[in-house]
Structures are given as structure tokens and as C-alpha cells.
Amino acid sequence: MATGRGRQLSLGRIAGIPVYVSPTWFLVAAIITFGGRDLVLDYLPELSDGGAYLVAFLFAVLLYLSVFVHELGHALTALRLGLPVRGITLHFLGGYTEIERDAPTPGRDLVVSAAGPLLSLALGGLGLLAGQAIDDRVLTFLVWELAVANLIVGVFNVLPGLPLDGGHMLRAAVWRFTGDEHRGTVVAARSGQVLAGLVLVLPFALNGGRPELFTIIWAGLVAALLWSGATQALAVGRMRARLPRLDTRTLARKAAPVAPDLPVSEAMRQAHDAGVTSLVIVDSAGRPTGIVSESAVAAIPEQRRPWVTIGQSARSLQHGLILPLDVRGDDLLKAMREMPATEYLVVDAESRVYGVLVTSDVDHALAAR
Ligand SMILES: [Zn+2]
């Protein structure tokens, strides 16, 4: 989800939602245009070469329009439910809608996830009906192809595994029935990994076990995307399940207050006597002004330590380096992301020094099983 926008073209906004297209789309459009010419001529032999290319290119554009409508289904439903939408991106194998789900519920997740495939399937059905009512052969061909494309997009996306919509729906259903969001994620992500495996072997199961090279490459690409999406969903889910462990109160190390003009050797002796590893610089009134960086102290050679003041190894306390005691979980990670540092000062409700939060301790808490 959190991909950069560096290599994406902006297409403007619809209903206030920014729409982007990845340049990889042009590659796919070219493949469809050149690869689709023969298929078009099979159905419409009366067309010229140029006409066949044009129809194939039109199909590529209409296919993307279908994907866009699918994503719009997600986005508008999310907006309807009061969830902010950050944007819609179309890429070479489809699209995705970035939705902020600050207060997620299984019900809302289910409705937002189902809206896209439902719209695709409805468009596919309408296209099949419309195809029978049209006289023009070229138009009938395009409408028919478009209907099939929408049905494929709809059916593929309801397959029950993350990162597909069907996976989100499965996740919401398991979450709803067990009351356990994490279990929902694990079930849907594992199911996504199984789907990836099935997509990989499917070409060999069909076509009498002798698939074409193009089919194998295509299936491999889809399987790889499914696998990486499912695996990433699993990793994010695991991390989210560990967030409650991120409690500033228990993670913060005890710290000793020291005056800035104290020699490093003396400050370290005081820390040792107090049984702490972290030092906080305080002014004459006892107010904290800086945090001593452990790595900066460690970098000072032993024989220089009596001659260097501890204040020189401290980072002065800018705004983001002070964390209140009650910040935890996701909020703690957000605060740390806003102001990356190796150490943070933790203060209690009266702004007194509680301790020092060391970033590596947070990493360990997240990584531990
Ligand atoms: Zn979708």
C-alpha cells in the first residue's frame, strides 16, 4: 500500500479522489494492442490491419476503464461510510484504492471490499445483455470483450485470499465470527498463499498439461503478485498483533539526571552507581535539556573521557524527542516515525523525567515472538 508516487502519472481527481496511473500501463496497452490484432481479425476479418490494431487498443483502454470503475466502487463506498480515501492507482495488472481505516470494523471492511467486485460483475452482466441488442459488428465485439473482461475482473477479485477483495471479505468474516482481527488476517493471508500456488499450477492442469510459454509467464507473474501480497499482509498482521506490547511505561529504561558540564567518565560512574544505562542532561533547576546518546559516548576513547563533558555527547531536546508516558502502540510508532532518533525522553504527566525510550528496545519488542 505504502508505495511512493515517484513514478506515477496523475490523471486528476474524481469526487475529490486523486487518480494515478503507473507508466507500466502503457507497456500492457502495447502488449494488448499488438498481441490482440490476430484475435480481432479472427472475429472481424473485414477489418484492415490498422483497424484491427485500433480495436485492440480501444479494448485496452476500455479494460482499464473497467478496472477504474471497479476501484471507484471501493472508493465511493468507503467515502459513503465516512472513511477517507487517499487515492486510486491503476497499475499493470489492475488497480488499488488507498483507504484510511482508522477505526476498522469487520462490517465496514466487508462492504467496502465487496463493492468493487459487485460493480464489475454487474457491468459484466449488463455488457452481455447489451451485446445482444447491438447490430454493429465492431461495437458488439468490443462490448462483448468488455463484458468478459469485467466478469474476469469480478470473479478473480472475489477469490478468497489476500491481497484480493475476496481475501478482505474472508478476513472480515472470520474477524466477525471469532472477534479476533488477527486470526482473520492469518486465515485470509494463508489462503492467499494457497491461491498463489494454485494459479502457478493451473496452466499445467488445463491445456492437457502443455501450456504455452506466454501462459506460464503470465500465471507466474500473477502468482508472484498474489504470494507477495499475501505474505506482506501476514507480516503486517503479525506486527499489528504485537502493537499492544509497545507500552512506553514498560519499555522505557530508567535514566540518571546529570549536569551538562560533568566529565563523561564521572557521568558514567554515576550512571553505573545508579544501576542505569541512560543519562538525561538537566539544567540547574532539574529540567531536562538533552538526552545522552549511548553510541556517542561509546565512541569516545577511554583516555579522553575525563576531559570531555557529557553535554557534548547529548542531543538537545527538540519537540519530537519528548514522549508522554501514556503514548503506546500505533501512536508510539507514528510519533517515532515523525522524528526518527535512537533515543527519546519519556516524561510523566507533570513533565518530570520518567526514563529514556531506546529505539532498539522498541524494535526488539516488535520482532520478538
Ligand atoms: Zn477490488
CA of 296 to the centre of ligand 1 (A): 49
The pLDDT tens digits for 210-224 are: 777 878 888 898 899
| pLDDT at residue 4, as a whole number | 46
State how many domains the chain has. Answer: 2
* Per-residue cell: 358: 531506546
**Continuous segment of H or E residues that includes residue 262:** none
Give the CATH number, domain containing residue 268.
3.10.580.10
| Domain termination site, one of 242, 261, 277 | 242
CA of 330 to the centre of ligand 1 (A): 26
pLDDT over threshold 80, residue 245: no
* Per-residue cell: 363: 524494535
> 106 with 179, same domain?
yes
Q: Which residues pair with 247 in a beta bridge?
A: 328
Options 71, 98, 181, 294, the catalytic residue:
71
Per the model's pLDDT, the better-predicted residue between 100 and 2 turns out to be 100
Measured between alpha carbons, how far is 287 from 353 in angstroms, rounded to an integer? 8
| pLDDT at residue 73, as a whole number | 92
Q: Which residue intervals of 137-275 are DSSP H helices?
A: 137-157, 165-178, 181-205, 213-242, 248-251, 264-274
> 216 with 108, same domain?
yes
The pLDDT tens digits for 279-329 are: 888 888 878 888 888 788 888 888 888 888 888 888 888 888 888 888 888
23-37, 75-89, 100-114: which has the highest mean pLDDT? 75-89
CA of 170 to the centre of ligand 1 (A): 14
- 321, 345 Cβ separation under 8 angstroms: yes
| Domain termination site, one of 185, 216, 242 | 242
71 part of the active site: yes
Known binding-site positions: 70, 74, 165
3 state SS of 3: coil
* Per-residue cell: 152: 474476469
Residues in the 5 Å CB sphere of ion ligand 1: 116, 157, 165
Q: Which of 99, 96, 49, 106 is nearest to 77 (CA)?
A: 99
| pLDDT at residue 248, as a whole number | 85
> 70 with 215, same domain?
yes
Instruction: Print the domain residue range for 290.
Output: 248-367
- The DSSP 8-state label assigned to residue 253 in this structure reads B
> 141 with 252, same domain?
no
> 194 with 212, same domain?
yes
> 181 with 70, same domain?
yes
CA of 162 to the centre of ligand 1 (A): 11
Q: Which of 172, 170, 144, 176 is nearest to 158 (CA)?
A: 170
Look over the chain and give the mean of its residue pLDDT values, rounded to a whole number. 86
- 32, 20 Cβ separation under 8 angstroms: no
| pLDDT at residue 368, as a whole number | 72
Known binding-site positions for Zn(2+): 70, 74, 165
3 state SS of 54: helix
